[in-house]
């Protein structure tokens, strides 16, 4: 018996049963990614808002200082800009047809959840902003 005949070809399934996933089943995975992405987007937006607006408070006195020195840290070290860039690239490739059609289902779940959160959150933020402006005036 030769030594070469004793070596078996590698099994690509690694002994696991192959499971086929329907493309529609990728929608919950996209929704799950949206559940991670949308809160990060809100947190990052509020962080940028905090760094750009005038800082005020009891111990700071009148609003006059900004945290502009912190902006590079927010832009470079927060993971959201990189995740957003990746989502833009994947979305562009999927819409151009260069990715498998299953990606469209995944992205559909992601964008559906994101749109739902925008519809639910933006009106509440507008009401809070209006209340905040009324408190400053009155």
Interval 50-106: pLDDT, tens: 888 877 666 656 666 777 888 888 888 888 999 899 999 999 999 999 998 889 999
Q: Is residue 7 part of a domain?
A: no
pLDDT at 34: 94
Residue pair 81/75 in contact by the 8 Å Cβ criterion: yes
User: pLDDT at position 12, please?
Assistant: 61
Confidence (pLDDT) at 8: 55
User: Residue 133's pLDDT is what?
Assistant: 85
In a domain, 67, yes or no: yes
Mean pLDDT for all residues in the chain:
83
Task: Report if residue 74 sits inside a domain.
Answer: yes
Per-residue HEC secondary structure of the chain comes to CCCHHHCCCCCCCCCCCCCCCCHHHHHHHHHHHHHHHHHHHHHHHHHHHHHHCCEEECCCEEEEECCHHHHHHHHHHCCHHHHHHHHHHHHHHHHCCCCCCHHHHHHHHHHHHHHHHHHHHHHHHHHHHHHHHHHHHC
Decide if 15 is inside a domain.
Answer: no
Question: Worst-scoring range by mean pLDDT, 8-22, 39-53, 90-104?
Answer: 8-22
pLDDT score of 10 more than 80: no
Domain count, the chain: 1
Q: Note down the domain range covering 37.
A: 24-137
């Amino acid at each position: 018996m030769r030594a070469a005949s004793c070596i078996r070809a590698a099994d690509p399934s690694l002994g696991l049963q192959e499971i086929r996933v329907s493309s529609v089943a990728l929608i919950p995975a996209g929704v799950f990614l949206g559940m991670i992405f949308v809160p990060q987007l809100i947190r990052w937006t509020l962080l940028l808002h905090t760094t750009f607006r005038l800082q005020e408070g009891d111990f700071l006195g009148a609003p006059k200082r900004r945290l502009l020195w912190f902006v590079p840290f927010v832009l470079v070290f927060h993971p959201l800009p990189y995740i957003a860039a990746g989502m833009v690239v994947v979305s562009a490739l999927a819409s151009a047809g260069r990715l498998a059609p299953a990606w469209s289902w995944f992205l559909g779940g992601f964008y559906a959840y994101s749109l739902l959160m925008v519809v639910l959150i933006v009106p509440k933020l507008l009401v809070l902003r209006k209340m905040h402006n009324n408190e400053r005036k009155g």
